[in-house]
Every structure is written in C-alpha cells, then in structure tokens.
Amino acid sequence: MVLQARYADVPIEEKQRLFDQVKADERFESYLYGCYECGICVAACPSARFYDFSPRKIAQAASREDLPMFYEQLNDDIWNCSQCFSCTRCPRGNNPGGLITIMREVSINNGLTSAKNALEGYGRVVYKIMSTGTQVSPDMLQPNAFPDWGPHVQEISDNLALWRRALPPDTMHTTSTAWEVDDKTLTELYLIWHMTGVLDMIKQVDTGLHMILNDVMEELLEEAGFTPE
Amino acid sequence: MPETVLVIGGGPAGLEAARAIATIGGKALLVERRAVLGGTPDESNYAALTPRMGSAQEALDVLRAGVVDPNIDVRVETTVTGCSGSVGDFAVTLTGPAGETKEHVGAIVVATGFQHFDPGRETQMYGYYEYPDVITLPDAEKMLSEHRFVRPSTGEPPRNVAFIQCVGSRDRRLGNEYCSKVCCGVASKEAIEIRRLLPDTKVYIFYIDMRMYGYWENEIYWPAQEQYNVTYIRGIVTEIVGKDGRLLMKGEDTTMGRPLEVLMDMIVLSVGMEPSRGTRDVAGILGIEQNKYGFIATPGEPMDPVSTNVPGIYVAGAAAGPKDLEDTVGMAGAAAMRAVGAVRGLARSEAAVTR
C-alpha cells in the first residue's frame, strides 16, 4: 500500500510468514477488532511521549495487514513499548499493547536480530529473575547497558560489595540476591520456565545465557526427579 | 372543498404518504412519472437495503401493496404540469398517457426524490467516463443485484477494489457542500457484499470521515471492518490514471502520514445525492422555495421537517435533501398527517415558521 518502506530487501513472503504467526496466536482475535484511528491509545501511551512510537499504528498495520509496515514495526517499534496497557482504553476494545506482546514473542521465537539487540542489555536481569525468582538484587544492573542511568553506575558496580557494606541499614551484605528463595519455590519456577517454552525463547536470542540457566537449574530439577527433557 | 391530497412521486416517500393518507380516512391521488412504482430504489436497481441487507424489491412490494386501496387513485406515466390556487383548493394540471386533465386537490405532498450525483457533471478527475472499471455505487448495486461483481473491462473478478467516498458531496467547489448521509453506509454494505462474493478480493474504503450514525455503526461499519476485513483509509484520492490495464490511484494515507499510490482493479465512486429533475421541475410548477442546492426548502426545521414555505404543500423524503429510508418513510407519515389536516381545515393556514 505504500511508496517506501524500510527492509525492502526482505522478501514479502518472509514478512507474510511472520505476520501469519502473529495472526495465528489465539489472543489475536480478542486483541484487535477494528481501528477508528482516533489516537486515544497514543494519547494514553507513556512511550509515545518520549519515542517515535504509536500504538495506533501498530493496530492499524495489523488491521490493514500492511506487511511492510508490520515488518518495520516488528523490528523498530515494538521494543519501545513499556507494556503498561494504558492503550486498552480503546473504544473498540482493541489491545495494542497485547498485539505487541504477541509480536515480541514472534520476534524472539524467530531469533530476529532486532530482538537480540533489544534484549542484550537485559541478560543479567533475565538471568537473575529466571535463576532466583527475583530481579531485584544489588548486582542486577549491567553497567554497559543503561547509559541513561548515569556515569556512576560503572563506578558503583566496580565496588558493589563495598558500597553495600557502607549502607547504614542491615543489608545482610549480599550483592547477588535480595532475599532467600526456598528450593521448592525454585523447582516450581524452573518447571514453569521449561514447560511454558520460556527457556526455548531464551535459546533463540541468547544461547550462552540459555546454557548457563540450564546448568543452574539442572541440579534442583534432577533432585526433584525431572530429567532435562 | 376537495378532500383529496395530491402526492407527487411514487417512490418510498410517495407510496407511504398515499398509504398513510388513506389509512387516516383521506383520499390520495398518487402520480408517478415512470410506468412502475418504486422510485429510485427500483429505477437504480437497489439490491439489498442498508443496513439490514433486506431485499429492496420485497420492501418496495410492501409499499406498493399499501397503495392498492379504493381511496387511492394511482396514475403512472403522469406528471404535474401546472398548479394554481391555495391551501384547501389547488387546481392542478396532470399530463399523462390520456393527455391533460385538471384536478382539484386540497393539499399536496411533494415526494419527488433525488438523483445520484453524476461524476462527470463538472469534472473528469476520476475518469468515470474514461475507464470502464471506474463505476459508481448504483453501478455496483446493479451487479450485486445479479449476485456478481466483475471488472467491466474484462469480465473477471477484481483482485482489489477501492471505494472513494464523498464524490459529489461535501465539496464547495462543486456547490454540493452537504453530506449525502447514506453513502458511508451503502459503500460499507456493498463492500461486505463484495467480500462475501469474492473472499480473496481486498476491499478498501477511502474516506474523509466515516458517518455511520446510530445503529449503522454497529450494524454495518463494525462488521465490515471486523468480520469482513474491509480496510478503511482516511484520505481522499486526488486522481486516477490508467496504467497497464489497471487503475493507479494517488492519495495520502493521512493517519499514517505518508503518500500513497496503489494499483486497483476497480474503483467505486460513492456518489451522493442531488435534487432530482422532478424535484427541480415540481418546485417551479408549484412555486415552492428551494434551498441553495435545489432541494425543497423546509423552513420549519428542526421541529417541522415537512412544511414548505407554501401553506398546504408538504414535502417528504429526499426531495427535501439527503435522506435515508427510515427518515423518508417517517417524513411521509408526518406529511400525510399535515396534508389531511389541511384539507379538513384543521391545520394552521400560515406557512412554516422559521425556528
């Protein structure tokens, strides 16, 4: 439908294949009805205030089955969404944020470079939450991934244990976990990652992380009587 | 004093007005220019009515049956060619197959309707008379009434079809500044029918605003978009040029903020309403005021949509401006009531008051 589109070198069949995966998701039907193009979702969207990002265009492209635009969004836009779902105030009952959830999953499942790049900075967060059940720990930050957090992140990260000890309240002097998670909880958590396919998704975007997580989970799962398969 | 009400026009408004006059005990004289009753929905081959897709001919048959009544004198192939007198006693000249006759009537209901805008009237910008695959809503309606939809140039089903809204409406340059009210619904209805007939055909509707008031919203617009995947794009096409046997249309996708150039197999122009020839002629013969667009003026609106500026002469349906069928039939009942009141001396004798 359009004159120009980025990714003109990507064959239309590939764009169609990825779009079909999004459309085949069982949530799709209840996330997209028709679009008035009214912009209420954009008005409510925090990301739209700071990025060139529009949940309206996500809904429109999907509704029109505009494959070139869909593919652009799949690569360049969906990671700008904060998944707050303010956009669900749509008068037609659309859920643009939900469409983005599906698009992100398709993007990861297909190992798109854009997904790898977008998730690169989150390796440690993913590792923490998947191995311990909580991402909130003093060492959760990857100093090289969040320049917008300021120049002191590197300095603090380098001497994390020292800073930690310097805090007046009782911190148990740990840097890798915020609280203790018992083995039963962890075992259940690991089973969830396996059975819902989350581990397979990680494999698509970060094989190293996937290997490390498998190693971490192996012992507890075997103790509980589960084999890697 | 004549008890009879003259009803001019045998379309939905005139048929319903005549039926209503007889129902409340009056006498009606119904004249129709054509040899058959039914008006524009019949003459322009309407197939399924908006929004509920009921058969147009079946609906018209109900109205036609309503005027089979000893108190209704139906004269087809007859036009009004002269009028004098005033409320309570108009002397009208009718010209029909048997020549001229004079009739005395107490009141008159004008139900002379509209005609579809002719896309070649002022401008050839959409190439209606140049490209066979550029058609209008009534052209599409004729094909759909035969349960087919093909490219006139090849006889093959189109791969993609675009409707262009507001052709001949909402246009200061053309003089038709008004919205024709029904084209959004009719185009969406036809789009649904095309998608039902040809599931592999992409259908686009290019619009300025979609005006799907009341239940047309959820009965036509939403299903078209949600169930039949009709694509609505806000932006009006600037021009159409022939290219490789197809139609290249140029416009802007305004909500996406980018120019648009697409090849279509067929383009349907959503032509609006203009006063019919009969409406213009009858307005002159009866000496009733027309508005700046040529429709019969109704100075009593909003509370009196049926009184003209002449006491005893009322208007129903699209002779008074763009109307859907619900409004048309509703107006016909109101006009019938006023007209019978007038012949019985019950109506206020003054003309409609501007409110």
Smallest CA–CA distance, residue B354 to chain A, in Å, is: 37
What percentage of chain B reaches a pLDDT higher than 70? Answer: 96
The verdict on a CB contact (< 8 Å) between A3 and B259 is yes
Residue B283 makes CB contacts below 8 A (sequence gap 6+) with B110, B289, B290, B294, B296
A123-132 helix and A183-195 helix, angle to the nearest 10 degrees? 120
Which chain B positions have a beta carbon within 8 Å of A56's beta carbon?
Answer: 255
Smallest CA–CA distance, residue A78 to chain B, in Å, is: 17
Q: What gap in Å lies between CA B48 and CA A196, rounded to an integer?
A: 50
Query: Looking at residue A228, what is its pLDDT?
Result: 59
Closest CA to B226 of B217, B237, B214: B217
The domains found in chain A, sorted by start residue, are 12-118 (1.10.1060.10), 121-229 (no CATH)
Return phi, psi of residue B207, to 5°.
Answer: -135, 165
Strands B231-234 and B239-243: unpaired
Contact B307, B300 (CB under 8 A): yes
Q: What is the pLDDT of residues B156-185, one digit of tens each?
A: 999 999 999 999 999 998 899 999 999 999
Smallest CA–CA distance, residue B218 to chain A, in Å, is: 11
Smallest CA–CA distance, residue A92 to chain B, in Å, is: 9
Query: How are strands ordered across the β-sheet holding B202-207?
Result: B134-136, B266-271, B160-167, B202-207, B231-234
Same fold for the domain at B4-113+276-343 and the one at B117-272? yes
Instruction: Write out the two tokens for B353.
Output: 């008051």
From chain B residues 259-278, the ones with a CB under 8 A of any chain A CB are 259-262
Closest CA to B337 of B77, B22, B10: B22
Return phi, psi of residue B78, to 5°.
Answer: -130, 140
**B16 vs A147, more confident:** B16
Instruction: Write out the two tokens for B50.
Output: 């908006």
**Which uninterrupted H or E stretch holds B193?**
helix B183-197
Q: What is the pLDDT of residues A175-207, one digit of tens each?
A: 777 777 888 999 999 999 999 999 999 999 899
The amino acid occupying position B134 is V
Q: What is the pLDDT of residues B202-220, one digit of tens each?
A: 999 999 999 998 999 999 9
Which chain B positions have a beta carbon within 8 Å of A3's beta carbon?
Answer: 258-261
Return phi, psi of residue A187, to 5°.
Answer: -60, -45
CATH class, domain B4-113+276-343, is alpha beta
Query: Looking at residue B229, what is its pLDDT?
Result: 94
Per-residue pLDDT of chain A (229 residues; tens, 9 = 90+): 555 578 999 999 999 999 999 999 999 999 999 999 999 999 999 999 998 999 999 999 999 999 999 999 999 999 999 999 999 999 999 999 999 999 999 999 999 999 999 888 888 888 888 998 876 777 777 777 777 778 888 888 888 888 888 887 776 667 777 777 888 999 999 999 999 999 999 999 899 999 999 999 998 899 888 875 5
CB atoms under 10 Å from CB of B58, counted, come to 9
Tell me which chain A residue has its CA closest to the CA of residue B264. A1
Q: What is the pLDDT of residues A24-42, one digit of tens each?
A: 999 999 999 999 999 999 9
Q: What gap in Å lies between CA A98 and CA B209, rounded to an integer?
A: 28
- Rounded (5°) CA angle B337-B295-B333: 15
Inform me whether the pLDDT recorded for B354 exceeds 60. no
The verdict on a CB contact (< 8 Å) between B255 and A34 is no
CATH 3.50.50.60 fits B117-272, yes or no: yes
Q: What gap in Å lies between CA A211 and CA B70, rounded to an integer?
A: 93
The verdict on a CB contact (< 8 Å) between B256 and A63 is no
The arithmetic mean of pLDDT across residues B138-149, rounded, is: 96
The verdict on a CB contact (< 8 Å) between B260 and A1 is yes
Instruction: Write out the two tokens for A200.
Output: 């397979």
The amino acid occupying position B307 is S
Query: Looking at residue B45, what is its pLDDT?
Result: 94
Smallest CA–CA distance, residue A37 to chain B, in Å, is: 7
For the whole model, what pTM was predicted? 0.85
Q: What gap in Å lies between CA B172 and CA B61, rounded to an integer?
A: 38
Domains of chain B by residue range: 4-113+276-343, 117-272
Identity of the residue in A1, A35, A92 whose CB atom sits nearest the CB atom of B262: A1
Place of tokens 């053309």: B174
Query: Looking at residue B355, what is its pLDDT?
Result: 43
Closest CA to B38 of B21, B20, B55: B55
> Virtual CA dihedral for B315, B318, B320, B322, nearest 10 degrees?
160
User: What sign has the CA pseudo-torsion B337, B343, B349, B351?
Assistant: positive
Task: Return the residue in A29, A56, A58, A64 with the most chain B beta carbons within 10 A, the one to mutate for interface testing.
Answer: A64
Place of tokens 């150039």: B261
Distance of CA A89 to the CA centre of its chain: 23
Q: What gap in Å lies between CA A17 and CA B303, rounded to an integer?
A: 58
